């Protein structure tokens, strides 16, 4: 089988490598089209000379130990519009439409359609696509590492929530900027069932603004039909600038019957716990879980666990491509 892949390869980066490595994994031989200087300059403000781009690309391609050809191209077709020995075209999500145009051109010439393999967009550490332009501008490096602080906005001014978010991201990023903002949740003061996730989602989407990610954390009551009692569960939603959301939650625990009785009368869990314990603003300190567990667990740690659970798909994004497309 022979595969084809094309690009400008202005700066060889992890996204390009994903395309090329997939091509070599599927095929016995790979044809790589590199945009000519004229073609590259038509769409980019800064380009390296063709010979330089080819030299860097060839050093990488040789590591696969399979036959290959590198050809200069002056349009999106290259050899793919007429070649009879190419079987499959490897493209990114951004260039999928070009692949469809190529197959229509082949049909006009009486040639069979190429199989099309679409490689998911490779994201940088700020969840935006890796690109040569971003690398040249100094936003990221060729592996997608962020060259500045990750900007985070949390949909709450509660210091416990902000600290829980901070703890997670300090482990994952060299530098972060975090800000808490008050937002409308769009759910009752004491959310239950589906309103818990909805509240977290609304917090995240309302908070993000111009940041890289928005984080929403919402705790609420979930009824368990098996045990016939409520669990307190804290949900977290993390939204990036493209609108994709990932969701997780922390462990659940029971409230004492007296607390639930007050909640059924219309109080929030926080107000009910204040009545039972006499502690004001308990949700801004150890939280109900801190009091009930005699500080074996506090609300900051509970928040941290929910945030980390929501972030897991972003740590291993290659395993979550399909579900990300559905959210």
Distance CA 91, CA 69 (A): 17
Q: Are residues 204 and 310 in the same domain?
A: yes
- Which of the listed residues 111, 136, 161 is the one where a domain comes to its end? 136
Structural domain contains residue 120:
yes
- Element holding 25 (H helix, E strand): helix 14-26
Q: Are residues 103 and 14 in the same domain?
A: yes
Q: Are residues 52 and 201 in the same domain?
A: no
Beta-strand relationship, 176-180 and 213-224 = unpaired
Q: Are 132 and 13 in contact (CB under 8 A)?
A: yes
Per-residue pLDDT in tens (0 to 9) along the chain, 327 residues:
999 999 999 999 999 999 999 999 999 999 999 999 999 888 777 889 999 999 999 999 999 999 999 999 999 898 898 889 999 999 998 889 999 999 999 999 999 999 999 998 899 999 999 999 999 999 999 999 999 999 999 999 999 999 999 999 999 999 999 999 999 999 999 999 999 999 999 999 999 999 999 999 999 999 999 999 999 999 999 999 999 999 999 999 999 999 999 999 999 888 898 888 888 777 667 788 888 999 898 889 999 999 999 999 999 888 887 776 555
Tell me what pLDDT residue 327 has: 57
Structural domain contains residue 145:
no
Distance CA 312, CA 314 (A): 5
Could you tell me which residues come within 8 angstroms of residue 293 by beta carbon, excluding any fewer than 6 positions away?
253
Q: Are residues 258 and 174 in the same domain?
A: yes
Tell me what pLDDT residue 191 has: 95
Structural domain contains residue 228:
yes
Tell me what pLDDT residue 42 has: 83
Structural domain contains residue 144:
no
> If you count them, how many residues does the chain have?
327
Output the CA–CA distances (angstroms, integers) from residue 318 to 18, 142, 145, 226, 315, in the order listed: 11, 18, 16, 36, 9
Distance CA 156, CA 110 (A): 61
Tell me what pLDDT residue 283 has: 67
Structural domain contains residue 161:
yes
Q: Are residues 202 and 82 in the same domain?
A: no
Domain boundaries, position 70: 2-136
Q: What residues does 118 pair with on adjacent strands? A: 91
Output the CA–CA distances (angstroms, integers) from residue 31 to 98, 140, 234, in the order listed: 17, 29, 51
Q: Smallest Cα–Cα separation from 170: which of 180, 162, 160, 182?
A: 162
Tell me what pLDDT residue 94 has: 85
- Which of the listed residues 107, 136, 165 is the one where a domain comes to its end? 136
């Amino acid at each position: 089988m022979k595969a084809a892949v094309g690009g400008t390869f202005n700066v060889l980066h992890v996204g390009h490598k994903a395309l090329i490595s997939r091509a070599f994994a599927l095929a016995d031989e790979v044809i790589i089209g590199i945009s000519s200087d004229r073609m590259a300059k038509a769409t980019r403000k800064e380009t390296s000379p063709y010979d330089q781009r080819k030299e860097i690309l060839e050093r990488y391609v040789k590591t696969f130990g399979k036959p290959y050809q590198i050809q200069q191209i002056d349009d999106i077709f290259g050899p793919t519009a007429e070649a009879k020995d190419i079987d499959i075209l490897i493209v990114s999500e951004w260039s999928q439409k070009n692949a469809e145009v190529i197959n229509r051109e082949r049909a006009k010439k009486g040639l069979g359609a190429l199989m099309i393999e679409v490689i998911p967009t490779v994201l940088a550490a700020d969840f935006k696509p890796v690109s040569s332009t971003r690398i040249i501008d100094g936003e990221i490096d060729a592996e997608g590492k962020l060259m500045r602080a990750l900007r985070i906005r949390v949909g709450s001014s509660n210091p416990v929530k902000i600290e829980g978010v901070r703890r997670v991201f300090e482990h994952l990023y060299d530098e972060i900027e975090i800000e808490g903002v008050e937002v409308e949740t769009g759910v009752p003061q004491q959310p239950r069932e589906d309103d818990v996730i909805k509240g977290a989602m609304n917090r995240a989407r309302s908070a993000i603004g111009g940041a890289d990610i928005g984080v929403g954390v919402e705790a609420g009551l979930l009824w368990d039909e098996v045990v016939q009692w409520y669990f307190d569960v804290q949900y977290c939603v993390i939204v990036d600038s493209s609108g994709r959301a990932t969701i997780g939650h922390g462990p659940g625990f029971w409230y004492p019957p007296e607390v639930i009785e007050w909640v059924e009368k219309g109080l929030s869990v926080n107000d009910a716990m204040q009545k039972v314990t006499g502690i004001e603003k308990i949700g801004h300190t150890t939280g109900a879980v801190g009091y009930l567990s005699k500080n074996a667990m506090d609300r900051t740690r509970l928040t941290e666990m929910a945030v980390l659970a929501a972030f897991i798909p972003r740590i291993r994004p290659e395993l979550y491509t399909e579900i990300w497309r559905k959210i």
